[in-house]
Amino acid sequence: MATGNFFKHWPTILLGVIVAAVLLVAVFSFQLNQTESAVVTTFGRPTQVTEPGLHFRWPFPFQRIYRFDHRIRCFEGGSGKLEETMTADGQNILVGIYVNYRISDAEKFFKSMENITKAEAELNSWMRGFKNAAFGQYRFNQVINVDPKQMKLNEIQDKIRADLSKRAGEFGMEVVSVGINTINVPKSISEKVFERMIQERQRAAAERLAEGEREAKNIRIKADSRKAILLADAEAAAKEIRAKGDAEAAQYYAVFKQNPELAEFLRKLDSLRSVMKNRTTLVLDTDVAPFNLFKPGAEVLTPAAK
């Protein structure tokens, strides 16, 4: 009869066994993701650090599990994230920074910080101190300037990161990077900053204009010198051409002196050829040379006529 009752209720019994097994596994084990590690405490004292996977544990209150995520966290600071900072030359600026960090040593982090809230409160204090110390070593024009060559922001970021890494490493944290997300100037000095920037731009413009004037003057001097040389060469060439022309003309004049009337006749013919290149109808006074050749009865004396 008892055997019959067992077979009759075996599904319920099997289900109870499975539920009990699941509960035992849940009570006496824990699972960690790939991005996690855990610190196991026994009666409040850290006894082991576990890596991702399934692990055995004693139930509370014997042991407790503290999980920590190793992924990078971005922290911009808490109170006073954007506050005034003094530069080396006594100027006030508003600066805000951020820190990318992760938990590198879970056991050291747990012993010193216990949790993220306390860790970021400490990190906020460190950020403010190291930020003020770093910016205090640089002048205002090395932080805010229209000339990128004078900017030292990368050096400031590296200095803050080095100081934070050294301090955070003592508490099981690794600082991956530090960045400056805000730089501004208080209203009380913003006008002076703008005036200084305008003066710098005006000074740069004046230097460029002076440089342009000097260059233009040099160009004019070179052009005038080149012009004088070319004019001198042209004048020399013109004199040479005139001399050749005068020499050739002297030969013709010598011939024309032998018969002035023939020379005059030939000059008149040349003039007519120049005036009447094409078919032309002219109404002219035949008493005016060279058109007096058309006058009836005009005579031209030649050497033969003489």
- Angle, CA of 294, 297 and 298, to the nearest 5°: 55
Give the residues of the chain that fall short of pLDDT 70: 1-32, 41-50, 52-60, 62-63, 79-81, 187-194, 249, 251-259, 262-263, 269, 272, 275-306
Kindly write down the DSSP assignment for every residue of 27-78, as one continuous string.
HHEEEE-TTEEEEEEETTEEEEEE-SEEEE-PPTTTEEEEEEE-S-EEE--S
pLDDT number for residue 70: 83
Q: What pLDDT, on a 0 to 100 scale, did the predictor assign at position 93?
A: 83
Q: Tell me which DSSP letter residue 144 carries.
A: S
In angstroms, the CA 216 to CA 225 distance is: 14
Would you state the pLDDT for residue 159? Answer: 92
Q: What is the domain partition of the chain in residue ranges?
A: 2-69, 73-185, 201-258, 262-306
pLDDT at 248: 74
Is the CB of residue 52 less than 8 Å from the CB of residue 32?
A: yes
Q: Is the pTM of this model over 0.75?
A: no
- According to CATH, the superfamily of the domain at 73-185 is Band 7 domain (3.30.479.30)
pLDDT number for residue 30: 59
* Residue 59 to residue 155: CA distance in whole angstroms: 51
Q: Rounded to an integer, what is the distance from CA 291 to the centroid of its chain? A: 83
The pLDDT of residue 305: 39
Q: What is the pLDDT of residue 256?
A: 66
